[in-house]
Amino acid sequence: MSQPLIVAVAGARFERLDIEEEVVAAAGASLRRFGGATAPELIEGCRGARAVLAAAHPKFTREVLAGIAGVRAIVRYGVGVDSIDLAAATDHGIQVCNVPDFGTEEVAMHSVALVLALTRRLHQAGADTRAGLWDLGRLRPMHSNSASIAGVVGLGRIGRATARYLAALGFQVHGYDPFLPASALADEPIVVRASLDELFAEADVLTLHLPATEQSRGLVNRDSLARMKAGVFIVNTSRGELIDEAALVDALDAGRVAGAALDVLAKEPPGAGHPLAGNPRVLLTPHAAWSTVEAEARLRRLAAEEAVRVLRGEPPRHVVNKA
């Protein structure tokens, strides 16, 4: 008798898994949900599974990956795969997949909303008005979109969408990407810069759209902040590790950075007394940029469909490693 086909679901916080169950059942497989996050719990929860759908928090370390023989693929609900040891997965013949195209519009639009909230100083204006202050002077200076340069760091799907939205709102959009040649962006409304130094020196607003990698972690640090235009606004909807948070706090307190809007932090949620959470120049949102009813449904269906491809021996759409 052949072994049953099982897709394990690790750490998902969705109330129901009806979308995944529908997709997986059509392939003759069953779904197993578990919530454990320790190495032994992950190994036990994945036992006998051919594929795993994984949320962001369970850590698939080398120890865990060595203990889940039979798993052929881990599909991340989302884009980032920094919770999975890619080298170890490759060593054990496990494909690591993600779903990079489920929420492009949502994250880009959230980024633009944060840009406008900063440049129009909505966070301060709302707090002042609730406190009984009616003082336009506290909100100055504000500048027209057309007089401002928006610097977009990372020109993948989300970065390019953000650039298009910002250009439509009148911003002068300058961008940088270490992997894409300027010729690949000829049809986009972006002035592509050859270096980050150029972008840092020009941007009135800087918005980050990069994965957390060895090269990108701490990209915004004391040195790079010193090279940015005084009074810059910083937006991050990608990964909290891109920013040295202590350096950002100091730059905000010194007035070099006029404000920051962050949907992601190095540690989520922030603990009590986190210096960014209590800073009046900072607008925080709870890793919500991707979240709409429609995006969640797309994410779950696309992730389940990726797992089914693996069950059928078909090539996945988005493999992050080269197992």
Extended beta strands in the chain, E state = 6-10, 30-34, 51-54, 73-76, 95-97, 149-153, 172-176, 191-192, 205-208, 232-236, 257-262, 282-284
**Which helix (DSSP H) or strand (DSSP E) does residue 109 occupy?**
helix 104-119
Which residues have C-beta within 8 Å of that of residue 197, sequence separation ≥ 6?
227
Question: Which residues are 151's β-sheet partners?
Answer: 174, 206
| Closest-CA residue to 85 (of 119, 109, 62) | 62
Identify the active-site residue in 22, 268, 294, 314.
Answer: 268
Catalytic position from the list 157, 164, 274, 287: 287
Q: Which one-letter amino acid corresponds to residue 94?
A: I
CA distance 323 to 320: 9
- Determine whether 314 is an active site residue: no
> Between β-strands 172-176 and 232-236, what pairing exists: parallel, antiparallel or unpaired?
unpaired
Annotated catalytic, 268?
yes
Cβ atoms within 10 Å of 322's Cβ, excluding its own:
8
Residue of 50, 121, 209, 239 marked active site: 239
Active site residue 239: yes
Rounded to whole angstroms, how far apart are CA atoms 17 and 317? 22
Please give the positions annotated as active site: 239, 268, 287
